[in-house]
Structure 1
Amino acid sequence: MVWNMQDYPSTMKNLGELVRKKAIDIANALLQDGYPEDRAIPIATKQAQEWYDNASPEEKETFRQEAPPQKNDPHNGKKQNEFLLNTNVQVKHQRNQWQVISKGAKKPSEIYDNKNKAIERAKYIAQNKGTKLEIYKQDGQLQETRDYS
């Protein structure tokens, strides 16, 4: 099921309007990418709150002015994203930052200045996906693999 600003999951009712709008947009995209509702809703809610906490005032205002999400909005869902649901999660160092990225993905899902924070987030993702976590050293060599399957 897809949602809009008038018809959304009850778990989103206490979110601020802008956070709810972002969560609905993210959840609809996740559903189109093949995520089940019970995974899409909490992921979208958490990502929307993180976006709100980290977005600049300009980003928030730009998003506020965008049209609200509709049930029939097209999302560029790709079968590649379904593949990424089952791949290992990696923590890699690049450009003086630690990336949390699914193996085979083009872009990291998150970037951290601190390796331990990146590992903590990657562990959470790997546990939810039921996959392995691959932790790399700063020089690119595999340091450790943890199995959460």
Structure 2
Amino acid sequence: MSWNIKDYPDSMKNLDEVVREEAIGIANGLLDEGFEAGRAIPIAVARAKKTYGDDNPIRHVVPHSDGWAIKKEKTQRASGIFNTKKEALKKAQQMASEEHTRLIIHRQDGKIEKHQTFE
């Protein structure tokens, strides 16, 4: 049995999307190593939360009425506003690299384009 973004354990349903994706990947890896699901799930959730939880704020590059903004996850205020996505992305990558965190880049329509991890 392996899980995916549409079919995953109920215990992962309240996780943030990014944390859930990571937990699913970790859990699948643990299953491949021979762990039972009942053991793999809590380990995967704990590891994903440790990596991408509140102690390690995720940054987002998002469209803004004045161009593009960088925002920390779960905040309303932008860390910076830029004329172009390229400028915002460059600064966001620098910030995420210094913080050893994850960066989520959005498209103009607000949907997620890609993830980058800086460890």
TM-score calculated relative to the size of structure 2: 0.52
Matches within 5 A, 1:1-149: 86-149=56-119
**Matched-pair contact (CA < 8 Å) for 1:89–1:126:** yes
Task: Say if 2:66 and 2:82, in contact at 8 Å, map to a contact too.
Answer: no
Give the count of matched residue pairs: 67
Q: C-alpha offsets along residues 92-127 of structure 1, whole Å, 9 cap, x if unaligned?
A: 002141001111112001000110000000000000
- 1:98/1:133 CA distance change after superposition, 3 Å: same
Contact 1:85 1:129 in 2 (8 A): no
Identity of aligned pairs, percent? Answer: 22
Cα distance 1:147–1:87, how it changes in 2: closer, same or farther (>3 A)?
same
Let me know the Cα RMSD of the aligned residues: 1.7
Q: Secondary structure at the match of 1:91?
A: strand
Secondary structure at the aligned position of 2:114 is classed as strand
Structure 1 ranges of 4+ moved more than 2 A: none
Structure holding more strand per residue: 2
- Asked if structure 1 preserves the Cα contact closer than 8 Å seen for 2:67 and 2:84, the reply is yes
Distance in 2, Cα, partners of 1:111 & 1:142: 18
Aligned partners of 2:103 and 2:60: how far apart in 1? 6
Gaps of 5+ in 2: 1-52
| Distance in 2 of aligned mates of 1:125 and 1:87 | 11
TM-score, normalised relative to structure 1: 0.42
Could you say if the C-alpha distance between residues 85 and 107 of structure 1 is closer, same or farther in structure 2, counting changes exceeding 3 Å? farther
Distance 1:141 1:127 in 2: 23
| Distance in structure 2 (CA, Å) of the matches to 1:88 and 1:96 | 22
